[in-house]
Structure 1
Amino acid sequence: MAMKSVCLMISQKNNVPNIVVLGSGGGLRAMIALLGTLVELKKQNFLDAVMYLCGVSGSTWCMSLLYGDGKWSENLMSLEKKLCENLSNFSWHIRKAIKFLEESSKDEHYSLTDFWASCLVYQILQQFDENELADHKEASENGINPYPIYAAVDKEKLSEDDRNFPGTWFEFTPHEVGYTALGAFVSTKHFGSEFEKGKLKKKKKKKHICYMQGLWGSALGSMEENLKFIRANIQPSYLVKTKIISLIDAGLAINSAYPLVLRAERRTDLIISFDFSSGDPFETIKKTATYCQKNSIPFPKIEDQEMDENNPSDCYIFRGDKSCPTVMHFPLFNNMNCSDKIEEYRERFPTFCMSFCKGNIEDLLEKAGLNVSNNSGKILQEIKRLGSSSHTKQF
């Protein structure tokens, strides 16, 4: 009820803070943790105030599964139960995976992304979603759910060792895909087709959600390990063709999609960042600060706060001047929800893990939810502060 009162208050003043929720990468751990986070945001009445939901790698797996339901934010509790049951049951069929791979091999853009999607992502998520990203338009237009943004990066630009180049970042939404910084976009339904001078030249077969999940989460897929698996388990020669993969997991640049939501047109006021990374839980915000500094993008200073990667707290708030968004940063495992067992939890939930038992899934959901419930007062305070100040952009 408190959240609804705040939303009413700020709407009456025509100062609506533009709120973004970021989910970092981290494989299956990130997928489950984002689900637990969103469930608790809903319970605390914050989810209705979120404008954008933006994910990298494992977080995109959670998002793309949810947006298959047009009213997912209203059905979160039942969806949570269903997704947890799916993750606990083995329903991957190698024959089905091979069939999709054989069909994919006929496409000139066939690559190891097809293998990763069909044989590994399908196996991790225990479902093969044959719908398309453009099919999620209804779920993103009905005003019920936050608008989804999925991140990838250009492999060729990333290989130039220039990870701070804005043109490296590529975004996907149900409506359009393209280079964020360049403003170069095409309709999502034509992703993978050929264009010349901005016009559609040759329409290609549409990519299904499972393929997208493989592309967005490709950092977990080692080319060498994939080839070993193929040669050891699947004999058809079409699986080992050499192709170029252009777009890869954005986590290889920054493991959270700050560059997409810092796009000026998005007028972001408050970034609520949930970090599900392994290792240093502050690496994403440190890399973002460097990225923003090199590209003259307003971002709050982070040097003034002590950040102990081995013993992090559960919530950090970074504020800047009126040109900067406020950032609330939440490390997944911290000294509040794990006490003195942070390292133990990190070891229990490694990134390169294809499944967790039911008990671990429930534990991870709880830990992620605690980061929201334990800090609901702080989140509410920041929304109030931004809503009542001239900091907020006018709509």
Structure 2
Amino acid sequence: MASILFPGGNTATSEKTNSKIRFSSDLSAGEKKSIENRKAKVSACLTSLGMNVDQNKIPQIAVILSGGSMTAAIGSLGTLVELKNQNLLDAVTFISGCSGATWLMTSLYDKGDWTKNLDSIDNELRAQWASLNFDATKGIQKLIAAAEQDNYSLTHFWAYIIVNFTVSELNEKVISSQRAVCESGNVPYPYYSSVDKQQVDTKGKNNFGTWFQNTPHEAGYPLIGAFLNSEYFDNKYSNSQLVKKEPELDLCYLQGIWSSALAAPEQTLKLVIEKIVEYIVQPYAPKSKPSTGLLSGLPVLGNLNLITSILSDLEKILKEGAEGSKVLVEQLLTVLSVVRDTVTYQLVKWMNDRWDTNDLEEKLNLFSILNLLQLVELAGLVIPVAKVLIKTVLCLVGWIWGTTDNFLYKSGASVPSDLTDKEFRFLIDAGFANNSPYPLILRKEQQVKLILSFEFYPMLDPFLGIKQASDYCKANNIPFPKVEIDPADQFNPDGCYIFEDVNTPTVFHFPIFNRVTSEGTVQQRTAQYNIANLKYSIKDIDKLYDIALRNVRNYAEKMKDKIQLLLSDLVD
């Protein structure tokens, strides 16, 4: 779709607008080059399938890989492998991924011409994901460096600890390094999705300022038509001028942005608290209680003995599972009220507000965090991760994710003022808007004729993504086929659904667990591959991988038949 705000396009080259910000509905020069060079690959692929092809009239085919944590990563791998086995992968021009699917995508595109070497990459990735080995030390080092930045958020912790652990890799490459292989035309062009939290919260999922994309060439708001070069993403701008150039963000951090919605907020919160304890508190907390001399440094707190006593009593009650812990938290809050500006006070206040909803394990974990935090912040305990601890806890109580320097800040461009009046934007997992990132491949300029959409998150509704895409298209006047689904199929879907209409792209929709490849076990599989699970055994990985293979294999001929019809329509 053309940009709502810049229908004719406008490259920002005036004195008032930095040349590295592009306001246009058009695709970037790098995207155009990649798409143009891809035509030869697509043409050769379709010719090998016995189709008559005019290279100037090739249907644009897009693959959508939904989110779904490791389920999505594994399912996406099996999907792409079988598309290659069926000689269909080279017919694809675009791949758009969300959340866990982006974990796979970054690993593939880092390897250059991955479509050529997919067989060996496939085995390597499955073994890597089953491994419990990951570089926690490097993750902590990255966090220590990140904590020196103004825009530190829980996304840093999520990326360098949780994503690092889940995929057994801390990816320090940069997204711009993927340009060369894309421009060669050897691989489909990738779109990595996220959404602007402020826009989602205030204007909803279908607002044109909600969706954000990262590609090897640019980052920006595709429906608004506001972009900047990828290497300048999350650099400080003001009045459309670059204020300060920072090193390009590594892919591990970007994965943190793209995959920050593991599950329900409470599950995510619980996991973050557990990992703070595991990787910050346990390794760095004093093995024995500090001396009174150390504690005497507490500012303005004449009742040191009372604080120590409350903490000791709280620990004892929690470990014994006895009643009365809430009263002690309230007492501690009262005592700390003289230092309200401290993160320690903010943590205790937050704990007090939600204490009754926490289970015992979470209460113990929060106590451990509090105990180390008050030693660091109030008593002057020196540990290498002091700033990481303080900033992570501050972001925890504020639930701050994806803090990003706003390249549109005070830009003066013809974009909504609520996108230009704040110095920071907060970018989060696109699953908060739609777990299947249709908006990134539905722009008029992309001319997509066939969408192969693979759904890996069936917990609520295996059709939720395509239903939300339909709503999005209605709200923004984008051509999309009518979506009608038998309610009985929600908990026992078929293997493939085809949605088509006049002057719209055709959509093939594939629920990962269905009555064809998971006959009689749809709900069992759905529960087994819950997206809250970060790790699977190689046996379980291979089982899910095989299901994804069969989902593609079963409908390969239908896909080929549709492509043939599209070719015929283009010739006519």
Question: What range describes the TM-score normalised by the shorter chain of this pair?
Answer: over 0.9
2:280 aligns to what?
234
2:189 aligns to what?
147
Q: What code does the residue aligned with 2:62 have?
A: V
CA spacing shift, 1:99–1:8, aligned 2, 3 Å: same
Contact 1:255 1:284 in 2 (8 A): yes
Distance of 2:278 and 2:170 partners within structure 1? 23
Deviation of the 1:390 alpha carbon: 3.8
CA spacing shift, 1:11–1:112, aligned 2, 3 Å: same
User: Given the alignment, which residue of 35, 40, 50 partners 2:82?
Assistant: 40
- 1:335 is aligned to 2:381: no
CA spacing shift, 1:314–1:187, aligned 2, 3 Å: same
Q: What code does the residue aligned with 1:116 have?
A: W
The CA deviation string for residues 17-59 of structure 1, in whole angstroms up to 9 with x for no partner, is 1000000000000000000000000011101110001100011
User: Given the alignment, which residue of 152, 171, 174 partners 1:132?
Assistant: 174
Q: What code does the residue aligned with 2:58 have?
A: V
Distance of 1:67 and 1:214 partners within structure 2? 17
SS at match of 1:21: strand
- 1:263 is aligned to 2:443: yes
Identity of aligned residues (%): 38
- 1:104 is aligned to 2:253: no
- 1:284 is aligned to 2:465: yes
Contact 2:135 2:170 in 1 (8 A): no
- 1:354 is aligned to 2:534: yes
Distance of 2:571 and 2:452 partners within structure 1? 17
Deviation of the 1:206 alpha carbon: 1.9
**RCO comparison, higher one (Cα < 8 Å, 6+):** 1
Q: Larger deviation: 234-243 or 324-333? A: 234-243
SS at match of 1:151: strand
Note the aligned Cα RMSD (angstroms): 1.9
Contact 1:25 1:256 in 2 (8 A): yes
- 1:62 is aligned to 2:62: no
SS at match of 1:167: coil
- 1:273 is aligned to 2:453: yes
Deviation of the 1:183 alpha carbon: 0.8
SS at match of 1:159: helix
Contact 1:69 1:139 in 2 (8 A): no
SS at match of 2:458: coil
CA spacing shift, 1:232–1:35, aligned 2, 3 Å: closer
1:384 aligns to what?
564
How many matched pairs? 390
Contact 1:192 1:205 in 2 (8 A): no
User: Given the alignment, which residue of 209, 230, 248 partners 1:188?
Assistant: 230
Contact 2:45 2:90 in 1 (8 A): no
Deviation of the 1:107 alpha carbon: 1.6
Deviation of the 1:201 alpha carbon: 2.2
SS at match of 1:9: coil
Contact 1:166 1:259 in 2 (8 A): no
Q: What code does the residue aligned with 2:230 have?
A: T
- 1:10 is aligned to 2:53: yes
Distance of 2:241 and 2:272 partners within structure 1? 36
Contact 2:458 2:511 in 1 (8 A): no
Distance of 2:232 and 2:521 partners within structure 1? 48
Deviation of the 1:317 alpha carbon: 0.6
User: Given the alignment, which residue of 306, 321, 331 partners 2:502?
Assistant: 321
Contact 2:66 2:98 in 1 (8 A): yes
Q: Structure 1: state its 5+ residue gaps.
A: none
- Tell me which structure has the larger Cα radius of gyration: 2
**What's the TM-score, normalizing by structure 1?**
0.94
2:373 aligns to what?
none
CA spacing shift, 1:139–1:390, aligned 2, 3 Å: closer
- 1:299 is aligned to 2:480: yes
CA spacing shift, 1:99–1:314, aligned 2, 3 Å: same
Q: What code does the residue aligned with 1:310 have?
A: F
Deviation of the 1:304 alpha carbon: 6.7
The CA deviation string for residues 50-101 of structure 1, in whole angstroms up to 9 with x for no partner, is 0001100011110001001111001001000000111122221322221111
1:157 aligns to what?
199
1:374 aligns to what?
554
Contact 1:89 1:126 in 2 (8 A): yes
Distance of 1:99 and 1:228 partners within structure 2? 19
Contact 1:4 1:45 in 2 (8 A): no
